[in-house]
């Protein structure tokens, strides 16, 4: 039996389709992602908390779902919007269909809508607050009211909401090619990783490079981190607006002052920017995809990157001791910064990919080199 479904946007747009998850209502900011593959990694990326994701690729679910291709322990996106759910899921690693996966994770989702029309609206008007309602008796006015009641992500501190409540150790490296076993590299560097909504593949890529990682809650004080005697601190990706995360910004200022090696990704990049005194802004529709070209300003090299952000550091507000290292070739927005007077840098896109191309994976290396230099200086 098909489940009727309606997507309502705050601008008044309505899309009738088919419910492919559970019955109910979900609200959030509706964003479009242009990646062709990786729907499971996208759904489980904590940075999508309170966001409803529409995928522009029309056939989603072809390869089913499995327990391995996840970026956290839960489905974090507030909902999913797709054009077409294939009748058959086929892959040797698939253990369940996308529909079963969505239902088991209690996700409200809609298919059979014109995702191209939806994406054009989001591009023209900017990311919209929205609601998906599924069930036998759908009321368009109630759906619109739900969409308009969502307060929007601006000013919303979600990092401390999705973060781990207790610290834990992580030393699993990447999977082998069959994705049946983890690679393990002996830990040479003690790294404290702030969990603002951290993706598993970031932790794996740090572990592959010899990091022994302690993951700590978002609100951990700088003092508690210094007590762990780290060689370096990593600032993770995460959902929501970076600006209200004053606890993290205060801690980062202390790490910079102590000249502790620092590396930030996405939200972590935005927080490093704020800690240096720069400002962040909300973008019109953000960057969400797996094919975004960025230029390394010093070398002129162009790399294709995975992206997922709706806020950005405003390059015009960078203080004199912070240089721009990367820019987006789609819209010229700032993609990377480095401090000129401290061992600290960050990147707006996703060097860990998952999903996406691995062109920018080398951005993990300077962090390792900074920790090496620090260890040598102390020896
Ligand atoms: N992936 C992320 O870390 C996203 C950062 C932030 N929530 C943004 O939307 O810009």
The best mutation among 48, 78, 159, 270 to test binding of ligand 1, ranked by most ligand atoms within 8 Å of the C-beta, falls on: 270
Matching residue, tokens 């999913």: 80
* φ and ψ of 34, to 5 deg: -100, 10
| Joined tokens for residue 62 | 């072809």
Atom index in ligand 1 nearest the CA of residue 45 equals 1
ipTM, 2 dp = 0.97
In this prediction, residue 282 carries a pLDDT of: 98
Residue 309 CB–ligand 1 contact under 6 Å: yes
Yes or no: say if 132 and 26 are a contact pair by the CB < 8 Å rule: yes
Question: 168 - beta bridge partners?
Answer: 215
In short, whether 269's Cβ falls inside 6 Å of ligand 1 is no
Quote the CA–CA distance of 270 and 56 in Å, as a whole number: 27
Task: Quickly tell me which residue has 């090619």 as its tokens.
Answer: 177
- Looking at residue 266, what is its pLDDT? 98
**Residue ranges of the chain whose pLDDT lies below 70:** 176-181
Decide whether any atom of ligand 1 lies within 6 Å of the 47 Cβ. yes
Q: Are 154 and 282 in contact (CB under 8 A)?
A: yes
- Whether ligand 1 lies within 6 angstroms of the CB of 268 is answered as no
3-class secondary structure, 257 = helix
d(CA 47, CA 187): 28
Residue 184 is predicted with a pLDDT of 75
Q: What is the CATH number of domain 159-378?
A: 3.40.50.880
Query: Any binding-site annotation on 128?
Result: no
306 is in an annotated binding site: no
Residue 264, annotated as binding a ligand = no
Which tokens hold the place of 15?
């899309």
Q: What span, in angstroms and rounded, lies between the C-alpha atoms of 102 and 43?
A: 10
Amino acid 180: pLDDT: 63
Q: How far is the CA of 186 from the centre of ligand 1 (A)?
A: 31
Atom of ligand 1 nearest to the CA of 237: 3
Range(s) of the chain covered by CATH 3.40.50.880: 159-378
What's the helix, strand, coil split of the chain in %, to 5? 25, 30, 40
Q: Is 178 exposed, middle or buried (0-12, 13-18, 19+ CB in 10 A)?
A: exposed
Beta strands in 317-374 (DSSP E): 322-328, 334-339, 344-347
Cβ(46) – ligand 1 distance below 6 Å: no
Q: Which of 293, 299, 298, 267 is nearest to 280 (CA)?
A: 267
Residue with tokens 């200022």: 253
**Among the listed residues 308, 273, 311, 313, the one whose alpha carbon sits nearest the alpha carbon of residue 292:** 308
Which class would CATH give 3-149?
alpha beta
Residues classed as catalytic: 266, 350, 352
Give the Å distances, CA to CA, from 124 to 98, 128, 142, 315: 30, 10, 25, 24
Report the C-alpha gap between 258 and 193 in whole angstroms: 17
First to last CA, the chain: 69
Report pLDDT digits (tens) over 303-360. Answer: 999 999 999 999 999 999 999 999 999 999 999 999 999 999 999 999 999 999 999 9
Ligand 1 atom having least distance to the Cα of 197? 3
Catalogue the E-assigned strands of the chain: 3-9, 14-19, 24-33, 51-55, 79-81, 109-111, 128-134, 168-170, 189-195, 211-217, 232-235, 262-265, 280-296, 302-313, 322-328, 334-339, 344-347
In the chain, list all ranges with CATH 3.50.30.20. Answer: 3-149
């Amino acid at each position: 039996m098909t489940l009727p479904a309606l997507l309502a946007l705050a601008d008044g747009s309505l899309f009738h389709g088919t419910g492919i998850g559970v019955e109910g209502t979900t609200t959030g900011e509706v964003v479009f992602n242009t990646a062709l593959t990786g729907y499971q990694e996208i759904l489980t990326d904590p940075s999508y908390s309170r966001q409803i994701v529409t995928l522009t690729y029309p056939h989603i679910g072809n390869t089913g779902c499995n327990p391995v291709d996840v970026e956290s322990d839960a489905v974090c996106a507030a909902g999913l919007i797709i054009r077409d759910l294939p009748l058959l899921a086929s892959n040797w690693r698939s253990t369940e269909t996308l529909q079963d996966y969505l239902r088991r994770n209690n996700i409200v989702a809609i298919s059979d809508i014109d995702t191209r029309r939806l994406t054009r609206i989001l591009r023209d008007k900017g990311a919209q607050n929205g609601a998906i309602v599924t069930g036998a008796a759908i009321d368009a006015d109630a759906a619109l009211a739900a969409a308009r009641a969502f307060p929007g992500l601006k000013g919303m501190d979600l990092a401390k909401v999705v973060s781990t409540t207790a610290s834990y150790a992580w030393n699993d490296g990447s999977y082998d090619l069959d994705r049946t076993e983890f690679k393990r590299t002996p830990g040479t560097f003690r790294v404290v990783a702030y969990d603002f909504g951290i993706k598993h593949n970031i932790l794996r890529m740090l572990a592959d490079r010899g990091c022994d990682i302690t993951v700590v809650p978002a609100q951990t004080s700088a003092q508690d981190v210094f007590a762990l005697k780290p060689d370096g601190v990593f600032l993770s990706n995460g959902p929501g607006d970076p600006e209200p995360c004053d606890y993290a910004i205060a801690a980062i200022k202390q790490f910079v002052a102590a000249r502790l090696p620092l590396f930030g990704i996405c939200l972590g990049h935005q927080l490093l920017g704020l800690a240096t005194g720069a400002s962040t802004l909300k973008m019109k529709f953000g960057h969400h995809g797996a094919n975004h070209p960025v230029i390394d300003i010093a070398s002129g090299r162009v790399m294709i990157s995975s992206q997922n952000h709706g806020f950005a550091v405003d390059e015009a507000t960078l203080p004199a001791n912070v240089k721009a290292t990367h820019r987006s070739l789609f819209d010229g927005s700032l993609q990377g910064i480095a401090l000129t007077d401290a061992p600290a840098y960050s990147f707006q896109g996703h060097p860990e990919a998952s999903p996406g191309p691995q062109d920018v994976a080398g951005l993990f290396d300077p962090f390792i080199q900074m920790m090496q230099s620090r260890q040598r200086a102390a020896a």
